[in-house]
A and B are shown apart, each in its own frame.
Chain A
């Protein structure tokens, strides 16, 4: 199994426009995040690639994993450590053809069935959510909650990341469920001090 960090910060410029992807990555790394996922569905490809190359450099220096959301071409050219594929993205088996076995491929699951499916398809980890209500995923139905998360963790062998509405007040409960790690957006970038926010989350995970 590949070595995968436990605190993933997703760079998002949809729910905030105060920071750029690069700025978010920098602060998150400083605060101890060990995975950065670049996510932008609207940025022109050339710009996304430039951003990816810059963030890859920041990550390499600190031995932080760099994952690109959706765009396998950008992941490939920027020499990222992997990709994260949602349900509307390229299938995992196709992504493998391009990226090979050494790159990390993560898949999204919204149910037990999908989690098992992603594992079968060869995902290296699963992002499962959303666990709590969250403004960035308002449209995707009811939160799954901690008990459902526990079932997922018991069922699949690959690392599970909890995502969706995770913050300082509930992260302890999430970690206690047995997950490998958490992926956060707002808990870091909506905080007045993203570096300290990331540090706080990290402390709970590794304590």
Chain B
């Protein structure tokens, strides 16, 4: 597998609407617990507020700070990359203005996964693997069998997303996932440090 620059196994995706505490605090605790990658995903924030929040988090996040969908915000906040949603921009553009940017892509099928690799994305998020309230609108979960097929179809790291809780991590890794991406499990946690600790136990490394 081409791991490239992808030096993380756990990707924490933000959602301040689910968050039990301020995002700064939650992210701060993630970083202190050893999390190496944060994806900032606050789709409904106006651009100026998103930029302010990103710059604030940049001071906390020493590892990978990936910005969902917004190349402009990523360029202005000294982030490490951009995550392209299903209807987002191509990897070519993400790398055109900063060749060191990591480019992630959300995919929901094998075909999309193969294409994401072909057009130069560094890693993909595939899901929802399990049932999750956040993704009910996308229909039934895709399941582990499909995740396995996706992992077998590409050479770039695949992160399982959707309904990821610690007890499901090994199931994903066992079918070939490089790592997992979590939203609710961390955002809604009453004890972020402990939650990250449990993920670390399951993944081996963060």
- Measured CB to CB, the residues of A under 8 A from B are 44-47, 49, 70-73, 76-77, 87-91, 94, 97-98
Contacts and interface: CB of A to CB of B under 8 A. Distances in A.
B87 A73 contact: no
Contacts of A73: 70-72, 75, 89, 93
A70 B70 CA distance: 12
B87 A71 contact: no
Contacts of A90: 47-48, 51, 72-73, 76
A49 B47 contact: no
A46 B76 contact: no
Contacts of B51: 90-91, 94
B143 interface: no
A40 to B, nearest CB: 13
A77 B47 contact: no
A77 B48 contact: no
Given A76-B97, A89-B46, A90-B51, A98 B75 contact: yes
Contact of A76 (B69, B72, B88): B72
B46 A88 contact: yes
Contacts of A76: 71-72, 97
A49 B92 CA distance: 13
Contacts of A71: 47, 72
Contacts of B90: 46
A88 B93 contact: no
A45 B85 CA distance: 9
B47 A70 contact: yes
Contacts of A98: 72, 75-76, 97
A88 B89 contact: no
A104 B171 CA distance: 52
Contacts of A45: 69-70, 84-85, 87-89
Contact of B48 (A47, A49, A91): A91
A71 B70 CA distance: 9
A18 to B, nearest CB: 23
Nearest to A83: B72
Interface string B124-135: 000000000000
